[in-house]
Structure 1
Amino acid sequence: MAESAEDRYARWSWIHETAVMTGWNFAALGSRLRADDPPWDFELTCAKAMARSAACLDMGTGGGERLRDLVRRVSAVGGFLGRESILHASEGWKPNLDVATSALAEYGIEVREYDSEIGDPMPWPDDFFDLVMNRHESYDPAELARVVKPDGGFLTQQVDGTEASEFRLWFGGRPETPQNRLGPRLNELEEQGFTITDADAWTGTMEFADVEAVIEYLAYSPWDVPGFTVADNLVALDRLAARRSPIEVTQKRFLIVAER
């Protein structure tokens, strides 16, 4: 018996309402999401920088999985995190704080709550870090300039604020951070006294196996289509469901390597 439209809509709504991100990854989507990778290796860049830095911060550590893997990877690039190394992490999304704290406890890494978009100062003193790493997390350039030591570094990979414009075409709305683009971010850092040593921008593709994968992804990434609901987008979702080919959207990333 074929699924009725009402049952299909109810199933889609259930998918969206019950999808919960744990940590910071899209592993639950499995092979239903395929994403291109940028030409640079941000994790390798971070590991190499960690190997020559004493006090390091991972901003927006998620569930701590990335920083945990980076600690393990440092030895693979010929580095060593000895007792003199001090590792710190921050996370602004409350559900992830406990997850990250547990994941990083064995390394003695304290996870502090911090969200740059609130406008509070970073919870560390001036000139504290040799290295600040930031993957897909917001940041305040003035606060970075305060906590990064002279000759210290800042590494970030960011999601361009105009990524996945197809979602807005299909479902309406505007991206939350359209200003998050390479040019403006470079200018902001330079205004705070940073020297840009490397920068790059890249465009690729994300491919979803079916409309259910799109719905689940939007639950994990609500900033892509703020306020998205299944009920408000039934016509667009039905059109996507009728496609025989995978559903593609545009990925956009940029990289900044800076020194103070």
Structure 2
Amino acid sequence: MDKCEYKKFYETVGNLNGWDFSKLQVLSDEPKWDFYDEVKRRAQTTDILLDIGTGGGEKILTIAPSLEFTVGIDLSHAMIQVAKENLKKSNLPNVRFLHMSSDKIEFPANFFDVVSSRHAPFNAKEVARVLKTDGLFLTQQVSEADKLNIKTAFKRGQSFSEKDGVSKERYVWELKKAGFSNVQSFENNVSEYYQRTEDLIFLLQHTPIIPNFGMEPEDYSRLTAFIESNRTEKGICTNSKRFLIIAKK
């Protein structure tokens, strides 16, 4: 899925369901890190933070009290509306949500102390431009081997034909080229257990894991076969593979 396809998918699905995955019943092994805990741990109370692809803003609102000021931007008009509604409920005075592309961040150079991006595209040059000297950029992204048994069962999927680790290496290279002096990367692969068939179907309908899920005649027979082959006492098993990059300007 290229950037244009991602933008179209993201805006469409955001308008349809608000990206609300909160009701899914999923068990997971303990990951090595929690992304926004990492952001909070590495930021200072005097820092100004930019969150790229902020969605409904729920995660940023939980850590905003420990920061001087926070800005969340997102491609989806619908998600920014949701984020603004969540902000009203929170009564936090130090947060703003804006509709904005990560390819053109409408802030001055050297404005932010920390920039974060979770599961969202980013432009390394723009991130470097708006970060102060010695500023930090943290991003968590989905690895090519994520949900590998699902994509194998459907014989297609997001990054299915790509070698695992390619996107991580590309991001690291782009960040170094943009001027980041210290770029570290980490990987995490854990098992996930979807408790109900409807939880798995929701995931496939509302993410790009299997492009156009349900549109091919064989999709539901493949889904049935996958569930039967991967059902365990804990639930329907797949994997969640992520990588974390921490870069210092």
- Both proteins in one fold, TM over 0.5: yes
Among 47, 54, 57, the residue aligned to 2:50? 57
Instruction: Quote how far apart the aligned CAs of 1:52 are.
Output: 4.1
2:3 counterpart residue number: none
Does structure 2 retain, via aligned residues, the 8 Å contact 1:204–1:251?
A: yes
Question: Who is 1:235 aligned against?
Answer: 221
In structure 2, the partner of 1:135 is 118
Unaligned runs of 5+ in 1: 1-16, 75-80
Please point out which of 231, 244, 247 is paired with 1:255.
Answer: 244
Task: Give the match for residue 209 of structure 2.
Answer: 224
CA distance, structure 2, for counterparts of residue 228 and residue 56 of structure 1: 36
Identity of paired residues, percent? 27
Q: Which runs of 5+ in 2 are unaligned?
A: 1-12
- Asked whether 1:102 is paired with 2:85, we answer yes
Does the CA-based 8 Å contact 1:171-1:228 persist in structure 2?
A: no
Please state if 1:171 is matched with 2:154.
yes
The amino acid across from 1:161 in the alignment is E
Structure number, greater radius of gyration: 1
- The Cα shift of 1:252 comes to 0.7
Q: Does 1:126 align with 2:109?
A: yes
**Paired AA for residue 248 in structure 2:** E
Kindly state the Cα deviation for residue 242 of structure 1 after the two structures are TM-superposed. Answer: 4.0
Superposition TM-score, scaled by structure 1 size: 0.77
Give, in angstroms, the shift of residue 121 of structure 1.
1.1
Whether the 8 Å CA contact 2:135–2:248 is kept in 1: the answer is yes
Residue number in structure 1 paired with 2:18? 22
Name the Cα RMSD after superposition: 2.5
Match of 1:205 among 188, 191, 200: 191
Letter in 1 for 2:75: G
- Tell me how far 1:197 sits from its aligned partner: 5.2
Q: Deviations over 1:170-221 (max 9, x none)?
A: 2232315957632221111111111235421111111122432211111221
Distance 2:189 2:228 in 1: 27
1:132 partner letter: V
Please give the TM-score of this superposition, normalised by the length of structure 2: 0.80
Give, in angstroms, the shift of residue 153 of structure 1: 1.0
Offset of residue 21 of structure 1: 3.9
Larger deviation: 146-155 or 242-251? 242-251
Inter-partner Cα distance in structure 2 for 1:43 and 1:115:
21
| Matched pairs, number | 225
Which residue among 71, 78, 84 is the counterpart of 2:64? 71
The answer to whether the 8 A contact 1:162-1:175 is kept is no
Deviation at 1:88, TM superposition (A): 0.7
